[in-house]
A and B are shown apart, each in its own frame.
Chain A
Amino acid sequence: MVDFAGWAMPLHYGSQIAEHEAVRSHAGLFDVSHMAVTDLAGEGARAMLRELLANDVAKLDGRPGRALYSCLLNEQGGVIDDLIVYARGEERGYRIISNAATRERVLPYLLDEAQRRGLDAAARDELAMIAVQGPQAPALLEAVYGAAAEPALALRPFQSTELEAAFIGRTGYTGEDGFEIVLPAERSAELWHRLHEAGGTPCGLGARDSLRLEAGLNLNGHEMDEQTSPLAAGLDWTVAWEPAERDFVGRQALEAQRRQGPQQRLIGLVVEGRAPAREGYTVRTDAGEGVITSGGYAPSVGAPVALARVPAAASGGYRVVIRNREVPARAVQPPFVRHGKVRV
């Protein structure tokens, strides 16, 4: 067990690598109740999110159940947090799922802003969250919910539905098919046991990290932070520049960066040999030095891989400094693994 943002969480339930492989080949279960759930409703909720988020919730208009990934920026264009916002129809508004590590910063910000605007907003601490991830995730849901699972099984990626007391999104953090299930905490242990009995492998934080790394998914505090813009973190695609008149927090700073061209960018590296290239290690390039933001042994690739922030002008000659030795690395476009297939 380790402390993660004040939550006691298992790093693994036995073997991190076995858990990792279970998700790629079958299905794994993650207790992700540490994630922060905030509900926001009322006339003006849409306007608030259009002002606060770098992505545009107008994309969700008239599409209840749809979800959107976005960064929450500061005025300097740095990333306070990354989150998923689900549209739940006009009456119920939006559900926002954000990180545990940034909770003390983000929740007061959202709740104060909502209060100032006279909106209904609530941190839903009584809710737990279980992620079911892997090619067998639909079968597990069917085993537990029976025919009632059908609307959930029909979801496409980044869609959600409500089933009994549960809120189910076809989302995840592993690069595999799967669901994230938000439900009252007092019912979560029973669901966990039933998913386990149906064949789901309990997985800890360790596998969660190696799976998301292989999937090329950023982790806040590693690939991005308040000093790093989404443009330097490979998240350009999450910034909605149009319509130009939408003046979201951080827009001016991002536009200035965009005009000048970002100084840095995020790349994937496959490192030669077996020695893991870890967070904080230096990366030498043909255009100066960069740094590894996340790295480790990738069980599905069978090699060490890393995400690295390097000078934007770098075009090759990548070498990672591991214990004073330069180890050559190959730049690749993440994801390293998606839907069980190695892509690098």
Chain B
Amino acid sequence: MSQVPEDLKYTRNHEWARAEADGTVTVGITDHAQETLGDLVFVEPPEEGTELRAEEACAVVESVKAASDVYSPIGGEVIQGNEALGDSPELVNSDPYGEGWILQIRPADPSELDNLLDAAAYQELVADEG
């Protein structure tokens, strides 16, 4: 059973978003997503300063199997991508909600977070996908 932390928000495309105390939002892919993808071998986060709209493709993750796009849960400006993933993409597998974070955003409209799924709704989505 994959982990779905209570304090995060989720998308239907298996990204998570965490509202930080300083008003920024950290984004990654869920435990379920990394499990489905298999061993990650390459992550390309967006460049600092990139302006994103909600649901816009913002990063590429490649596993041994395939390349997949990561979609931004909310609109805003990219503050930074996780540089550690350049050498260690496997952090997304081993710690998807911690060291395996992918990008940090300064949200244009923090209320967009309210449009996302909570942990219970996301858990249900994953269960339905079987």
What residues on A are CB-neighbors of B125 within 8 Å?
none
Q: A11-B65, A276-B67, A278-B67 are in contact. Are A323 and B39 (CB under 8 A)?
A: no
What residues on B are CB-neighbors of A210 within 8 Å?
64
Contact of A16 among B38, B44, B62, B67 (CB under 8 A): B38
Considering the chains assembled together, what is the distance between the CA atoms of A297 and B61 in angstroms? Answer: 13
Contact of A276 among B38, B62, B90 (CB under 8 A): B62
In chain A, positions 269-296 with a C-beta closer than 8 Å to chain B are 274-276, 278, 296
Considering the chains assembled together, what is the distance between the CA atoms of A179 and B62 in angstroms? Answer: 32
Q: Does A184 make an interface contact (CB < 8 A)? A: no
What is the CB-to-nearest-CB distance from B29 to chain A, in angstroms, rounded to a whole number?
17
Chain A 197-236 per-residue mask, 1 if CB under 8 angstroms from chain B, else 0: 0000000001000100000000000000000000000000
In chain B, positions 26-67 with a C-beta closer than 8 Å to chain A are 38-39, 41-42, 44, 60, 62, 64-65, 67
Q: Does B89 make an interface contact (CB < 8 A)? A: yes
What residues on B are CB-neighbors of A11 within 8 Å?
38, 65
Do residues A16 and B39 form an inter-chain contact, with CB atoms below 8 A?
yes
Known: A16-B38, A275-B42. 18 other contacts (CB 8 A): A15-B38, A16-B64, A16-B65, A17-B90, A206-B38, A210-B64, A274-B42, A274-B89, A275-B62, A276-B42, A276-B62, A276-B67, A278-B67, A297-B41, A297-B42, A297-B64, A304-B41, A304-B42
12 A-B interface contacts by CB (under 8 A): A11-B38, A11-B65, A17-B39, A17-B90, A206-B38, A210-B64, A274-B86, A274-B89, A275-B42, A275-B44, A275-B62, A276-B67
